[in-house]
Chain A
């Protein structure tokens, strides 16, 4: 399969890339290309110009900042996150999801930020970003702006990025306590999209939940933020009754479709089960005994 014809630009600075986007109507940014290139081959996408950002230095770093936030540059590959020895200490939710994104070969090439920009309702990273309250930093001709992920994604495969803006990094805000969390995904085989996935973020103050976020993958027409379920958790010590209530609230927040991956009821059941499992991992010892 061949994509439609396009012109290819490989700028070596962000400024050059942004001016190329501004000068060319129907231009598209190419980072890892693991969603864009298949879509171009199927002719679901046919940009006239591809602006390849892979030769721009300084976009491939990720790490904790002095203010406690965590930044992930636009060229950080899924595999960079999967193989990081320090990510788990700072961002357990992202560290848990990294090995479950696509398959090992796609992970060497595909990027975290590119995946969020692709805005596939079945994307794993969007759920993590929703759970963690993350933002995307976009750079355009007039400088940078920070956009919360729930505003950034405006619909399936749609974002609020302007035609002359590039998503340069993702930012996870500092935790207000000890950060805990995880990601669970049910897939029929490696590399498939999630039948259902749950991202959990907890900020613990001692054994009490100070802040919580739950993002759901593949169980609605967009990534779902299970806000009622996370509200149930705040102030609790993750006792069994709270966990059961959160699982029920998360399942109620979904609107899955029955398809070849499973029935709607099955997917709701998986979401409740995953929420229970993830929370049980972080249940304080005394709550388990009670």
Chain B
């Protein structure tokens, strides 16, 4: 019996059996939802491991993965090309979805996501600086590209936030507009670098701006796994705060949330996620918009459930879209192009149906 019950509520209110069973049924539903998404993720893993230009039978892939069998050539395709690529797409999908959800809730705006707010462009600029001029290479070595992407990501979020902020909080319209402005600025800088860069560097910057997993091997995986896992854990650890903040910043503060430190931690987590993602796959748009939306429509806005679903579901979504992008067309196309073609109509759909939340 809590202090509150003993002091405030006499026994006539004590019968909370119904509410307790309601709470338990919510828990069960949440566990079931997570189990379903884990199943989907596992299925996606096997399906995407089978898909590829080089034909290897499903049983052959399983044999290589679990028994260590198969020919040397097949082994190389499965273990050194497909496996790291699928794992990278898992990481990036999880990172983009978790940070998209964090941005939407933090800014109380269902349209917010890393690409819409220009944050991905900032990170892409940081990454291109490291790629074309080797900036940061001396100090950071292997991690130069993700570290520069992380740094510029953090700066960009801060800039967008400060530009959008007024005495009365962050208004949706100014937030989206400052995202456009900052994104355009960094987009311009990336174009400038493309213009002055030499042929080899140009190709890799173009690759970055389109977004693709073509170059994702074990080295890319190693580069992204630490920042993304750390960033996603950081964001996920703030799920309860995100619930309160997304219901209203002032009210959250009245209920005991330290808004400033929560915001800084979320900016940091998002930067780690986006930095890690952009470093290995470039700017892949709209994943951070689509995935949180779909899951919010399915299970509601409670982040304690929504966050794990977005992380796991985002991972399988990204891997599935990547598989489609490399196998469904005559030539493999960069996955970033596909997510934009899917995402832009989705953005318009959200804009039309969620008008109230957007502009208030």
Are A and B associated in one complex? no
Residues of A within 8 A of B (CB): none
Residues of B within 8 A of A (CB): none
